[in-house]
Structure 1
Amino acid sequence: MRHVYISSFLLLSALLMAGESFSHDDSPILEGPYLGQNPPGLEPEVFAPGIVSIASWGDAGRFSPDMDEFHVLRWGRENNQRVTESVTFKRMDNRWHEVAVPGRDGVPFFSPDGKTLHFGKRYKERTKDGWSEMKSLGSPYEEIRIMSLTASENGTYVFDEVGTGGDGIIRYSRLVDGKREEPKPFGKEINTGTWNAHPFIAPDESYIMWDGDRENGYGSSDLYISFRKPDGSWGEAINLGDKVNTDAEEGGPQITPDGKYLFFNRVVTRKSGATDSDLYWVDARIIEGLRPRQ
């Protein structure tokens, strides 16, 4: 796939001044929300096949809070070396335009207010001119091997850790009276099984989702959810069920900023026998069907 290596600011400025659209000659025209894709129902579907989810590459992606950007990371192997490719789809005048982002090795997590981009233990802040230079969360986060960090509207961090021998756990850190608490591990409701990773906390902190490997799962890793109880504690982990989880590996759950769809990754095996990862989406009502009745 061909990309134009140009900064987002210069691209958008050029389009606005020229009053013309930007697209690849060999790419379909994408118009409307969700990159022009028809939304799924309660059965998961591959998201934007051939556009975001590309055969022979692993793919992950996330919308910005205003739903006008979709950030993608692709990974694969060339000459026995891991290679990555980052692109961003931007919507202007209801049409999506693809822009390559050289040097970015990861999909940022936007804070719910859109003012911070989190890259694990690092982050960028929105400025009047765009985004700041990359900053560090500092100690103790620098000492933790974080893969994914998400944040709630109240500023609570929820993040994972690459463990020794795969025994990773999920931690949280609250913002109380403007001061950040020391990270603490969640209880056994969440940190149970062989490992747990790639958490997502709902903006209102009403639930947490993640992927993990447990004896009662469908495959090597499944998606789980824990709902917050009225007393503030966390409920037992609930497997998202066989509509989402399979005997393959599922991971990286997230909800779109409008709250309508669940995105996640699934390892797939191609006809050639090679494996990679596709991005799937499904109606978020599937989550409400799992919520315990009080």
Structure 2
Amino acid sequence: MKQYLALMLTFGISATAMAGDFPKLEGPLMGQTPPGKMAEVFAPGVISTDKWELEGVFAPGMEEFYFVTREGFERPHIIGFRMTDGVWQKFTEFRRTGEPFITSDGQTMHLAKGYRAREGDSWSETKSLGPLFDREDWGIMRLTASDAGTYVFDDYKTGDMIRISRMVGGERQPAEAMPVQFNSGKMTAHPFIAADESYLIWDSEREDGFGQSDLYISFRMPDGEWGPAINMGPTVNSDDDDFWASVTPDGKYLMFDRVVARDGDTVNVDIYWMDAGIINELRQKAMSGAE
């Protein structure tokens, strides 16, 4: 897995992606036909082009969609679309100061060490999460949150580590390292915790992988502990980098990023998606193995 994954937040890469004029998109899911059980490109030729597009997320309600691009910008920007009367229109753009994650109530967009709060039909300026996270020695790329307020985030500055910070009695607790099944391999990053904390997806480069970086999942076991790291398999992972997964707010689709081509320092990254039923299939196997 190449170093560009760890440097995206601060520097981006030399490739660019489309962020100017978009064709008219109508209907649910940005006008896209729902995917099946094999991963496929999301909105080919519209959102996912032959350049650099990644970190696609729907907001709760599935009527807003955000993704990251560099087309027309010196630094990566987040582009936001909203569906009004069945038609999708670009309604916002702002510089990416962290990889986006929207809480299940739709009121907060986490951006690594910062966040934006919902203000009417738009978002506030970026605010700090405070001294527990705004540390110079931490390189947070992605922070996601459960409904209970648990934060899970990566850190590329101190050994490709995933950490967790819980809320106890209404107080934010200092972050701790996740167990070894998460913090193994190389380039471990981009965690996504389910709203109910029943599973966690992340990416890592490991010996049992299919290529560069693969997506892995761990489930909460009946005893409350996290289960083993499970490679999400060949319907998800390719022989190149697969990373930055999330599940849409309606629970129906798994979305993630994939490197599809390289030309020197230029990397073509696309947004992929597939039926999220793969998660329940893997959960059943994990639970059967725990019996």
For Structure 1 versus Structure 2, the TM-score category normalised by the shorter chain is: 0.7 to 0.9
**Correspondences of 1:95-114 after superposition (within 5 Å):** 95-114=87-106
Pick the aligned partner of 1:190 from 179, 182, 193: 182
Structure 2 Cα separation of the partners of residues 2 and 128 of structure 1: 24
Shift of 1:84: 2.7
**Pair 1:92–1:129, CA change in 2 (3 A):** closer
Q: Say yes or no: does 1:205 pair with 2:197.
A: yes
Shift of 1:271: 8.9
Pick the aligned partner of 2:153 from 150, 156, 159: 159
**Pair 1:89–1:253, CA change in 2 (3 A):** same
Shift of 1:211: 0.4
* Partner-residue secondary structure (3-state), 2:183: coil
Name the structure 2 match of 1:250: 242
TM value normalised by structure 2: 0.85
**Pair 1:141–1:28, CA change in 2 (3 A):** same
* Partner-residue secondary structure (3-state), 2:25: coil
Name the structure 1 match of 2:24: 29
TM value normalised by structure 1: 0.84
How many residue pairs were aligned? Answer: 267
Name the structure 1 match of 2:108: 116
> For 1:164-202, what per-residue CA distance to the aligned partner results, in whole angstroms no more than 9, with x for missing partners?
5xx311011111111111101111121111231000000
Q: RCO (CA 8 Å, sep 6+): is it higher in 1 or 2?
A: 2
**Structure 2: runs of 5+ lacking an equivalent:** 1-17
Structure 2 Cα separation of the partners of residues 225 and 2 of structure 1: 32
* Amino acid corresponding to residue 42 of structure 1 in structure 2: K
Q: Say yes or no: does 1:50 pair with 2:52.
A: no
> For 1:72-126, what per-residue CA distance to the aligned partner results, in whole angstroms no more than 9, with x for missing partners?
11137x9xx9643432111001111123514345542111111211110101223
Name the structure 2 match of 1:20: none
Two-structure CA RMSD over aligned residues (Å): 2.3
Name the structure 2 match of 1:179: 171
Name the structure 1 match of 2:13: none
Name the structure 2 match of 1:75: 70
Structure 1 residue ranges, 4+ long, deviating more than 6 angstroms after superposition: 270-273
**Structure 1: runs of 5+ lacking an equivalent:** 4-23
Structure 2 Cα separation of the partners of residues 244 and 109 of structure 1: 21
**Pair 1:100–1:123, CA change in 2 (3 A):** closer
Structure showing greater radius of gyration is 1
